[in-house]
């Protein structure tokens, strides 16, 4: 074949692919805050997924399958993951850029389409590899142009990226097959929705820890304060001065409650603490370095909270008059509040 004919053939293959891909670029730029709905498959495994992607700063993930009901909210303030079937949660500090967590609750999170955050699908290709146009297809009644890239690299890795994009620039289907010495991954996504985030979507980013959920695991940065250890009684503060827990509780000690701000279990526990306070001295402390309305004190240095190291909030410690811990409780279930309050009263009145 003459060289000119080869060059013309290459042009007819690559130019249409770039036109199709530019459609997605234009759509993505017009929609930096994107809501998506999709079905993801990997071999026999599948999930129904939803997501909110906000310019790399916030991310919401929801996935459901017969044995899965998973939610994750990733913001600069915090990362909260919920497994609604087992009622477990995992919570981490936030970071400046949102990321898909390496979840300890489920491996299905890897089926979230991470590539959706790239505003140009050409960015996810290995260097030197290009998309070519392929046979069009119809998906959900929409005519789609199809672009495919195949690669084989010197490190013995190879793969296929296959995308179908409609006339508005929306990706209707995407498959990523990757093979290497480490194994093979094969994911395919079929999208039923790809649109701008609406005001009604915003509450999904604010995931709260439901009452009754328990942490996946205790933190690994040291053990929490234990029974027979001394609770730090000095160094706490109020909005207007210092707070000595021993003076606040009295000679017989009492209950110290560490509560989380904007935590539904902690909010629910406040009602029970008011009832308990009729017979047991109670001090409420914030789990952060700032005063919180309605709580007695906080730790301005952060060192006292580190010393107590509560695995989660709410966290309760019953101490004697010298600050020695007699009993500990973690978490709060409003449905079992009567038993919880009775246990505190009985423990306080019992002889050591």
Question: What are 138-196's pLDDT values in tens digits?
Answer: 999 999 999 999 999 998 999 999 999 999 999 999 999 999 888 899 999 999 999 99
Number of structural domains the chain divides into: 2
Determine phi and psi for 44, rounding to 5 degrees.
Answer: -80, -15
pLDDT at residue 88 greater than cutoff 60: yes
Strand 88-93: give its sheet, edge to edge. Answer: 132-139, 142-152, 158-166, 171-180, 183-196, 33-42, 45-54, 58-65, 68-74, 78-83, 88-93, 214-215
Is the same domain home to 192 and 256? no
Same domain (yes/no): 53, 177: yes
Using alpha carbons, select from 211, 307, 319, 306 the residue that is nearest to residue 257.
Answer: 319
Q: Which of 205, 240, 257 represents a domain boundary (last residue)?
A: 205
Q: Which of 40 and 307 is assigned the larger pLDDT?
A: 40
Residues 278, 310: one domain? yes
Task: Answer yes or no: is pLDDT of 352 > 50.
Answer: yes
Examine residue 215 and state whether it is found in any structural domain, yes or no: no
- Is 240 inside a domain boundary? yes
Mean pLDDT value of segment 79-101 = 88
User: 216 in a domain, yes or no?
Assistant: no
Q: Domain range for residue 63? A: 3-205
Q: Summarize pLDDT for 207-258 with one digit per residue, the tens.
A: 988 888 988 876 555 678 899 999 999 999 998 899 999 999 999 999 999 9
Cis peptide before 231 (omega within 30 of 0): no
CATH code: domain of residue 88: 2.50.20.10
Overall pTM > 0.85: no
Same domain, 180 and 281: no
- If one counts every other C-beta atom within 10 angstroms of the C-beta of residue 315, the result is 26
DSSP bridge pairs for 149: 161
């Amino acid at each position: 074949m003459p060289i000119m004919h080869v060059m013309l053939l290459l042009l007819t293959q690559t130019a249409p692919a770039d036109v199709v891909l530019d459609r997605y670029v234009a759509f993505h730029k017009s929609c930096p805050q994107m809501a998506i709905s999709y079905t993801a498959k990997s071999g026999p495994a599948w999930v129904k997924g939803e997501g909110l992607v906000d310019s790399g700063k916030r991310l919401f993930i929801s996935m459901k399958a017969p044995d899965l009901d998973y939610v994750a909210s990733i913001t600069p303030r915090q990362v909260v993951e919920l497994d609604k079937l087992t009622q477990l949660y995992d919570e981490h500090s936030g970071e400046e850029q949102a990321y898909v967590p390496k979840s300890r609750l489920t491996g299905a999170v890897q089926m979230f389409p991470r590539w959706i955050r790239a505003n140009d699908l050409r960015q996810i290709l290995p260097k030197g590899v290009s998309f070519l146009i392929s046979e069009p297809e119809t998906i959900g009644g929409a005519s789609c142009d199809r672009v495919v890239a195949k690669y084989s690299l010197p490190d013995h890795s190879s793969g296929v990226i296959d995308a179908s994009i409609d006339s508005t620039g929306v990706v209707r289907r995407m498959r990523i097959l990757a093979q290497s010495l480490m194994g093979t991954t094969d994911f395919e996504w079929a999208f039923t929705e790809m649109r701008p985030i609406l005001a009604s979507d915003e509450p999904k980013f604010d995931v709260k820890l439901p009452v009754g959920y328990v942490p996946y695991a205790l933190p690994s940065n040291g053990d929490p304060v234990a029974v027979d250890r001394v609770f730090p009684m000095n160094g706490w503060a109020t909005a207007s001065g210092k707070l000595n827990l021993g003076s606040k509780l009295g000679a017989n000690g009492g209950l110290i409650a560490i509560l989380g701000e904007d935590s539904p279990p902690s909010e629910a526990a406040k009602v029970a603490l008011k009832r308990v306070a009729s017979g047991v001295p109670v001090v409420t402390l914030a789990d952060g370095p700032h005063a919180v309305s309605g709580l007695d004190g906080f730790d301005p240095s952060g060192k006292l909270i580190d010393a107590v190291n509560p695995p989660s909030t709410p966290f309760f410690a019953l101490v004697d008059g010298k600050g020695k811990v007699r009993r500990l409780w973690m978490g709060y279930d409003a449905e079992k509040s009567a038993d919880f309050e009775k246990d505190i009263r009985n423990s306080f009145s019992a002889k050591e």
